Amino acid sequence: MEARDLRVSDAEREHVGELLQRAVGQGMLSLGEFTERMDTALASKTRGELNSVLADLPGMQIAEEHRPAPKPFAAPTPQPTPRRVVQEHWGHGSGASDTLRGTMSTVTRKGPWNVPPSLRVSTRMSTVTLDFTQAVMSTQVVEIHVDDYCSTVTLIVPTEATVDLNRVETVAGSATNKVRTGPPYGPLHLVVSGKVRLGSVTAKHPFGSSIRRMFG
């Protein structure tokens, strides 16, 4: 099998996304071209498809650690190894970091869902809504790490909650905080970090909460 026909991993697709982002910063690609090529990279299954988005970009190539290892000459056939089964648990307050993933998807958490102390949001071209108004909290402070391309991430928090978006890095995107920031003083404080590329992160109160406060 030729190298161009080998299957690619999520790490390789992410690496190519970073190269395309660098090309935008150097003026080699417009934002429209970046979006089109990013779509191709995320949908690519083989190395040939993935390399096609870098073909006309000088100096842009997949790093050595992301390239397939050369096939040894007359290597013995490896013995099959037992399959490792990884069971992922969602929101049991164990202290471990849980991960929400989505590609061209709608991801929603609302109602009495269990919120872990640390949450990772890894999304591509998705709509993510995390509603904390009725959530079951295991800690006062919740850390959220965002790793996103072209998605809309909305955090809905109770009126007494606080949110810190100062650690969010945006690349042709936005991070908007419509609620109170500062040190935690209520039952919930979100600390959001990570990188948003061509997307947005917004923290806000539920719809109509400002009107309810106005009229008591």
Instruction: Tell me which H or E stretch contains 2.
Output: none
Beta strands in the chain (DSSP E): 97-103, 106-109, 114-115, 118-124, 127-131, 136-137, 141-149, 152-156, 162-171, 174-177, 189-197, 200-204
Of 141, 140, 149, 155, the closest CA to residue 205 belongs to 155
Query: pTM for this structure?
Result: 0.61
Residue 73 predicted with pLDDT over 80: no
Count how many Cα atoms sit within 13 Å of the Cα of residue 51 in the half-sphere of its side chain.
14
- At 110, list the tokens: 């609302």
More confident residue, 116 or 32: 116
pLDDT band at 86 (very low <50, low <70, confident <90, very high): very low
Count how many Cα atoms sit within 13 Å of the Cα of residue 101 in the half-sphere of its side chain.
5
Residue 112 DSSP one-character state: S
Question: Mean pLDDT, the chain, as a whole number?
Answer: 81
Q: What is the pLDDT of residue 209?
A: 56
